[in-house]
Copies of this chain bind each other. A is one copy, B any other.
């Protein structure tokens, strides 16, 4: 099981970025996104609405004490940071983890996170936690969840080269 932990969510600044982190985690096969920082029921609800319509059982939950939570984990922590080791050097080891929590940061990641994590970079240029998470999960899973059917989906896309087509409750 892959979980994602989004550190230091701030409002209003991170509202959409954290939503994108959650939806990216879901689309690429993670089971949940935990987050710390500011409790944000609105963001949680917008992700849950996607889950209700598009299926599966992805969860979002708030963690008030992130360092306590991370230190008590019994699964490996993979921290995506532009300061970390190049991911290509570490993916073989990481693919051997049965379960893991993938941490993506906000602006200031506590030094302790570096001490308890496998710190890997998806490039060492500043870009985006959404992009880093996407590339990491894509490499980790081979992209196999991108087109997977989700149980309970009320809405589904019919891939098309030139228009928008969807099925709602099984009808085109």
Contacts and interface: CB of A to CB of B under 8 A. Distances in A.
A159 B23 contact: no
A160 B85 CA distance: 5
A130 B133 CA distance: 10
Q: Is the interface of A mostly helix, strand, loop or mixed?
A: mixed
Nearest to A121: B159
B54 A24 contact: no
Copies of the polypeptide in the assembly = 2
Interface stretch (A37-45, A69-77, A162-170): A162-170
A24 B128 contact: yes
Interface of A: 12-14, 16-17, 20, 23-24, 26-28, 50, 54, 81-86, 88, 111, 114-115, 118-119, 121-128, 130-135, 138, 143, 145-147, 150, 156-157, 159-166
